[in-house]
Structure 1
């Protein structure tokens, strides 16, 4: 593309965003000069290292669902034991650890009841057990598996705020030992067959559940991310691992936990195929507690981050996905069949196989501001037996290797993806990549221009013709994060007065078009070195058209802020506080948070929790 054409293309990209904002003002966004509250007019929130929730003065926060809270299953509601003495059976019906991606599904039309569905990403074994990581046992393995997965809880709004409905017919805990089905092109593949499941179509559990998505027909998509850390084996077996196993990190001796010593399915030297049954998108019907979750293999296997759905112009579904690791890829799946409209039980039944048939793509960002979606289809683009792909199942099982062959762009940890509800612009967080541009690692490129990239940023694109089925698009950088006082880092904000942040992770568009950005600086980086001025992890509110970015919430010490979702009426925001008290690398192993139950110095075990945020006057969130 000629430089003049490129300038016009980018100008059109930005002008379209401005036009969309004008349109939004006519459909509910506040407009200065009217009687409505001012958009993003909330009070200032400074960066802070306070061990608590910091909000604008006109807002309030309520802790709703901390780790260990009973899920609400009738007859199975053991209370949380502060000394971690709850059994594995208790944990199976309690809130899991490390809350992450989340969605609110309304029940009825008045906005006062709904289902809150959330992921539980991983475990901190030092907090989960009374004796921490000392002396692993089979019971510890079971409890750890039960502390991950997904919670489905029913909540209702009262005069005093939101509360959990106990018991609830919808309440459910899905975890690392829940029976599931494997569907799609890779179901039954020899790579998925094990001694316990010779057909390769059934699997026990889901874990490492990070980001999520919601289908147009009203089901929940949970993403299995860092599953590799739970598979292990004797270190001397590492030499026998394949290239694909190494690429996915499933190598004996590199495990985070010692499951393999007590459960053979996690021993890579004995059950090498079990790990192939993880790293998928899992579809869950939150309205039917008796339904079986399904792993959708057509969407590809990776360290799955995000499964963001949107409709194509002809009524099919497109699913955008990231692979959260340095130098990995962004993917898009487009279904073959059209979506049957609706979100009731009949619609969910009619669309039950829609995600099993379609085309997976990987992205390539070109230096001229254009990009392409490259098909990952067996027999095309070098994806054949000569390059190690004997069939379609192997392309999906080893999506990372397939993306290498067709020439996707290696990214700086692509995580959450969000689609603007009016313009269709797609935004993706690139959290960071300290390896970019270092010795022996890939150099910088147009889409990943900083190396090392300590702070990450947000990249966006507009599909050609505004159609998610398009193979081409225009792209630019929405923001390159960091501390503007450190010019050598290269931070670039749309406006000089935007609030600074680092390591964007979660993204959520509310129905009014505001973009909510959640951050995940590591516990070791918070408050130190180049991150010293940024405070704890935070939730920011952005107006995509103007680029204005304002800090809205700061979390307690050591936490990640994640899982933000705003109710359809925009009067309640739910957000997750994950792993408060994450240990710093200071040699002491000391917790630096007692949130939400205690005070520092740490007087109790910190707990991940869901927080409810509302305006004190009941007004619209973000004003």
Structure 2
């Protein structure tokens, strides 16, 4: 038995910039340098235990110790252990079962997968999506072409099966386009400012691309647009229908839409989820950065806009579209920051913005069906010091297969109750960071539970409403997904450089100083705050997602295994891959957790990792993918019976100083400049 290590003497804290783990170029284009400003949450809410130590205390690192039988039994949940990694049967290729050699940390300008696996680029920025779209030419871009081609910076990846038997080898790949990086998109001086803005505006949104299976099990390829009747591009000009109790509220009405029920476009779409009824949910995240204010922000909106980080210093879009000027159209800002739902099987249908799921910096939304048949959506607000949310539908899911069942299911997110999470720690005497939690109701579609705020008030200003309920402030809660095998919920908490200074530590957010690595191979250094992030495991009471109580534990304290603060579910730290800044999560058919990262501070490129969540292998982090220089790994999806891993390579080469003519990456190496792309990895033998 290996005894728990002693806490190290506290080292002098080294100075670090507010951007934490991301390159400054990414901070500028992705979120408008949000970290340069004070945290929007000034409520002072929710610290579990002020006396928690500065560094994580844990018990024995004996392999397989997990978090203890007592914790695993909480909630009475019967857990089927995920299969341990072992030799693959010939030709099987299922990623949850197959053994592989972990990819070592590296700084290559390439997608790297383990020996015995292949990876193919499925679709790139600029590839034609709609029939008649021109072939991509960086020197001949137009707004009209961009609206028919695959957009820039792909994030969420979903795959929806086609219902006809004749299409059994085809599926619809649904992808978000989060933001644009003009410095890397355009040859210097080639386009005037207005044309460039219009191209960037059309390069946001979503794409639906038909794909088909390749000859090797697990491989997929893009179908040409002329043979793909379901292909679609959703852009800044696409009309969305507003649903739920806030639809038509005066704050959603504008000169162009006096009804408050029809919004053009979707912005900064980050993660998402595919529903049991075959639609795709997409989260509008850093929408605050798109609005200018030519004559200042109107006073009546100042409190709301401040809580959402809306400053009026936008991207200049108001120069070509006046609705993005808050001085004249302040209500336009309320029309973004929602969960949107797209039906890829109905390419002519209007996508919807669901007000019932609240308005904040949505990372995504993922659905489970509770025991009583109600749809439960888990949500994260990707901001330092903001909250975890859950929605429970009023009506029940219809799995009968009747003709009207799907139409009914597509209304489930319009009525129900929205909750926010409060986590309570039970102390660290047991050496485990765990405790209990409660889902606090904010509003139903008919009744507000926040005094002084109406139902519409809560949904339009969800952050302000949640502040009044005293939930627990978290370290950038991003993807929050239920595991379909064990019924537990896993939340990626990416990082928080202000933990321990702007916000004191608590049992759910225990790290106040982290060890990072300036470059691959250089010694670890200590920096203030939680720089490497966590993965939180939530266990609904009785295994029922509709329950309003749960237990929780910190499954992973991410970082270098050599760092004192790290923890890997009790697994032997000498046998895991370094992991930093978890962002998105998914699961394979065996119930293993797959984690993608954004902003690795350990000197290596970002990547994707497989992590068993039960049994002797619980917490064994193994790196399966690294992405190219400057890129973020997004949207991991294990599909096709566990044979395929789809993922998005977002913003390759987004490194300070890089330009179109002098790129820091040329991946996928089809051009002399980088092109964000979606990739599929699979077993090659």
Question: Which bin holds the TM-score, normalised by the shorter protein?
Answer: 0.7 to 0.9
Distance 2:648 2:658 in 1: 26
Once the 2 structures are TM-superposed, how far is the Cα of residue 468 of structure 1 from its aligned partner? 0.5
Taking structure 1 as reference, are residues 351 and 382 closer, same or farther at Cα in structure 2, changes over 3 Å only? closer
The alignment of Structure 1 onto Structure 2 pairs a total of residues equal to: 579
What are the within-5 Å matches in structure 2 for residues 35-434 of structure 1? Answer: 39-71=97-129, 73-74=130-131, 76-83=132-139, 85-107=140-162, 112-131=169-188, 136-137=193-194, 139-159=195-215, 161-166=219-224, 167=226, 168-234=228-294, 236-237=296-297, 241-253=301-313, 255=314, 257-341=315-399, 346-368=404-426, 369-377=435-443, 383-385=450-452, 389=453, 391-434=454-497
User: How big is each residue's C-alpha offset from its partner over 1:254-292, in whole Å with a ceiling of 9 and x where there is no partner?
Assistant: x2x110122110001110000100000111110011000
- Among residues 530, 551, 562, which one is paired with 1:474 in the alignment? 551
| Paired position in structure 2 for 1:597 | 669
| Paired position in structure 2 for 1:509 | 587
Once the 2 structures are TM-superposed, how far is the Cα of residue 381 of structure 1 from its aligned partner? 8.5
- Among residues 541, 554, 570, which one is paired with 2:626 in the alignment? 554
Distance 2:98 2:467 in 1: 42
Distance 1:102 1:12 in 2: 34
Once the 2 structures are TM-superposed, how far is the Cα of residue 542 of structure 1 from its aligned partner? 0.9
- Among residues 550, 560, 568, which one is paired with 2:640 in the alignment? 568
Deviating more after overlay: 603-612 vs 462-471: 603-612
Distance 1:592 1:574 in 2: 24
Taking structure 1 as reference, are residues 428 and 148 closer, same or farther at Cα in structure 2, changes over 3 Å only? same
User: How big is each residue's C-alpha offset from its partner over 1:584-604, in whole Å with a ceiling of 9 and x where there is no partner?
Assistant: 379999532110125xxxx72
User: How big is each residue's C-alpha offset from its partner over 1:482-504, in whole Å with a ceiling of 9 and x where there is no partner?
Assistant: 123333xx122232111111000
Once the 2 structures are TM-superposed, how far is the Cα of residue 179 of structure 1 from its aligned partner? 0.8
Once the 2 structures are TM-superposed, how far is the Cα of residue 574 of structure 1 from its aligned partner? 1.0
Distance 1:483 1:500 in 2: 5
Once the 2 structures are TM-superposed, how far is the Cα of residue 566 of structure 1 from its aligned partner? 1.7
The question of whether the paired residues in 2 share the 8 Å contact of 1:82 and 1:605 is answered with no
Distance 2:305 2:103 in 1: 45
RMSD of aligned Cα (Å): 2.6
Distance 1:133 1:444 in 2: 50
Once the 2 structures are TM-superposed, how far is the Cα of residue 323 of structure 1 from its aligned partner? 0.5
The question of whether the paired residues in 2 share the 8 Å contact of 1:566 and 1:574 is answered with yes
Distance 1:478 1:589 in 2: 44
Taking structure 1 as reference, are residues 238 and 191 closer, same or farther at Cα in structure 2, changes over 3 Å only? closer
Taking structure 1 as reference, are residues 41 and 8 closer, same or farther at Cα in structure 2, changes over 3 Å only? closer
Gaps spanning 5+ residues in structure 1: where? 1-5, 618-623
| Paired position in structure 1 for 2:43 | none
Distance 1:562 1:164 in 2: 19
TM-score under structure 2 length normalisation: 0.80
Once the 2 structures are TM-superposed, how far is the Cα of residue 242 of structure 1 from its aligned partner? 1.2
Gaps spanning 5+ residues in structure 2: where? 1-66, 427-434, 513-528
| Paired position in structure 1 for 2:35 | none
TM-score under structure 1 length normalisation: 0.88
Once the 2 structures are TM-superposed, how far is the Cα of residue 188 of structure 1 from its aligned partner? 0.5
Tell me, what secondary structure is at the counterpart of 2:328? coil
Once the 2 structures are TM-superposed, how far is the Cα of residue 13 of structure 1 from its aligned partner? 4.3
Question: Is 1:459 aligned with 2:536?
Answer: yes
Q: Which has the higher contact order (CA 8 A, sep 6+)?
A: 2
The question of whether the paired residues in 2 share the 8 Å contact of 1:584 and 1:590 is answered with no
The question of whether the paired residues in 2 share the 8 Å contact of 1:82 and 1:604 is answered with no
Tell me, what secondary structure is at the counterpart of 2:425? coil
Distance 1:350 1:531 in 2: 48
Tell me, what secondary structure is at the counterpart of 1:607? coil
Once the 2 structures are TM-superposed, how far is the Cα of residue 428 of structure 1 from its aligned partner? 0.4
